[in-house]
Structure 1
Amino acid sequence: MITAIGKALRRIRLEKDEYLKDMADKLGVSSSYLSAIENGKRRLTSHLLEKIKKTYRLSPEQAEELDRASLETQERVYVDINGMSESKKTLAMAFARDFEGISEEQMRRIRDILEEGDDK
């Protein structure tokens, strides 16, 4: 079954008049690997996501659409806690453990706090 990221990649290929193999060759991956990503059998890495944006010189809007499709396709989120302070590790684990119980209001407040940090 084609995923949201698969649809987005296909749209890029069609706009560039390319086949799956053409895109795979440009990105330095096999056609079967790219097909597996499109069909949800393999996960799109952040490295390959950035390579697609750069290789195809996507506009900010197109890059954002690709990011959204990638997020929509993901079933799991991995957080590398290696090298983090103990307090950050504890917070990350608590957040993961209690994620399902977070209300919409709490999510909004957390998002506001995180966006505040982006402004610094």
Structure 2
Amino acid sequence: MKTTSEHDERIAKMTFASVYPHYITKVEKKGRTKEEVHQVIEWLTSFDDNLLQELINDKVTFETFFQKAKLNPNAHLITGVICGYRIEEIETPLTQQVRYLDKIVDELAKGRKMEKILR
């Protein structure tokens, strides 16, 4: 699926710290925990709690966030639709990686079992 260059640029320049609280709120409203959010983020990016907090404090952009990440080799198994885009069809790697993160947080909020989320 083709995203526009403006869309990709907007995502690249967005800070992880601006979106992170929304991830936490979303899952806590559904009875999941901040620790579970950290677990899925660590699975996807290899960031432990300390490094994740450092990235939040530094207000890094998603571009920097994913440049520093060691993406899980099974990340490509994250499929489906998020924000109107079919993840496996997104052509811009950074936009696809951000949507991977959105999708696994969404799956967590929807009550999916952790072993299914952590493919």
TM-score class normalised by the smaller sequence = 0.3 to 0.5
The normalised TM-score by structure 1 is 0.32
- Choose between structure 1 and 2 for higher RCO, CA contacts under 8 A separated by at least 6 residues: 2
